[in-house]
Amino acid sequence: MEWAKLGGFSIHVVDQAAFTPSRIITKTAVVDIMRKFGVFPIPGEISFSKRRQIVEDLLIKPIMWTDDGRAIPRWRVHERCVLLREGMQGGYHYPKNLSGIGDMYKPIAVKNKFSHIANAMEYASSKVGLMDYNIPFEGRRKLPSMNRI
């Protein structure tokens, strides 16, 4: 997943499985192929619960407020990403525990058509903290405070 693109600078976040060499034909990992084309990915957060908490924090805690009291979110889903938008409106969800204790949810989301795109969004969100780093070779202090995933 590519985000925070500024004048040729971007951060590529991938699932950890991309670092595992294939056992079929090429015997190389997906990241090896990406590196051949100048893309240097970093792994996203592996923990389901940490990824979920990061996304909840991004949704709940806005980055700033406008003069009329509206919240400006830390990230927005691109308007053309219909599947992720639909998933974030309830299609991608966590099942409740059957124990009946309050609103406790299972740690792993329901697998459905939204799972892969939502997991990719979680991986990218898990590295949103990288926005505080300097942009290499440009002398700028920070990446922008809002990104589109």
pLDDT digits over 67-106, tens only? 888 877 767 788 888 999 999 888 898 888 876 666 677 8
Nearest to 44 by CA among 118, 134, 106: 118
pLDDT digits over 121-137, tens only? 888 888 877 665 555 55
- In this structure, which amino acid lies at residue 79? E
Place of tokens 């950890």: 16
Q: How confident is the model at residue 9 (pLDDT cuts 50, 70, 90)?
A: low
- 5: left (phi > 0), else alpha (psi -120 to 50), else beta? beta
Question: What percent of the chain is predicted at pLDDT more than 90?
Answer: 15
Give Cα 45 distance to the centre of its chain: 9
Between 64 and 49, name the one with better pLDDT.
Answer: 49
Domain segments of the chain as ranges: 45-148
Q: How confident is the model at residue 107 (pLDDT cuts 50, 70, 90)?
A: confident
Buried/exposed 79-93: b ≥16 CB within 10 Å, e otherwise: eebeebeebbeebbe
